[in-house]
Amino acid sequence: MEISQNLSLMHLILQASIPVKMVMGLLLLASLMSWWYIFIKMFALKRAAENTDSFEREFWAGADVNVLFQRVNQDREAAGELERIFEAGYSEFLKLRRQAGTSVSVIMDGARRAMRAAFQREMDGLESHLPFLATVGSVSPYVGLFGTVWGIMLAFQNLASVAQATLAQVAPGIAEALIATAMGLFAAIPAVVAYNRYTSDVDRLSNRMESFMEEFSNILQRQVAKSPS
């Protein structure tokens, strides 16, 4: 009965050596932060996908481009990622078009550069925190393994001073060391799953935004080509 109590999870954690406790604390902090970022990215990417769907439906339904531009321009912070890309490109298009003597190629290059710059800013926002999840997913198992190796090493060092080693003497030290590996896996697995899922979601949004930029550029080029010189 005494061995069973000594092998309880909380008792093993409290009785672990200082280095192993530091490893466990680091892994616990990494796990909590990764879960925080997992939920943040889940809601952010869901909102980005919904905003992209809504704007694409409105745009391709034949909405007036100038009306859309005015609405987005009045409140860019509340606008979605694709709306801000549209606003940046159309704003540059209108500015260059008002300048007398500006060629079609200069106008279109300016609009494309503006959309590309806005696209890069939006992608930076969508990809934020993903490197942290990747780091936690790749490093946590090794950090946990370090804690395990250290704990087992101390357990065998303590046995050196014992005349006759028994399972009851070695089991607690090995058990507390293995907790570090378990915590490393507990931190790594959700981070890896979330990173792979969110990277795929970001890639899909990126492809949709790039497709929209190409199609919108073609629309603007036809528009400026039809206008009188």
Q: Are 123 and 201 a contacting pair, CB within 8 Å?
A: no
Cα–Cα dist 35/31, whole Å: 6
Cα–Cα dist 149/200, whole Å: 36
- Per domain, the residue ranges of the chain are 2-226
Cα–Cα dist 176/7, whole Å: 8
Cα–Cα dist 194/130, whole Å: 9
What single string gives the DSSP state of each residue in 17-48? -HHHHHHHHHHHHHHHHHHHHHHHHHHHHHHH
Per-residue pLDDT of the chain (229 residues; tens, 9 = 90+): 344 445 566 666 666 678 788 888 899 999 999 999 999 999 999 999 999 999 999 999 988 898 989 988 888 778 889 999 999 999 999 998 888 777 888 989 999 999 999 999 999 999 999 999 999 999 999 999 888 888 888 777 766 666 665 666 666 667 777 888 888 999 999 999 999 999 999 999 999 999 999 999 999 988 877 765 5
Give the max Cα distance, the chain.
100
Q: Are 110 and 96 a contacting pair, CB within 8 Å?
A: yes
CA 6 to chain centre: 40
Residues 65-96: b if buried by 16+ CB within 10 A, e if exposed:
beebbeebeeeeeebbbbbbbbbbbbbbbeeb
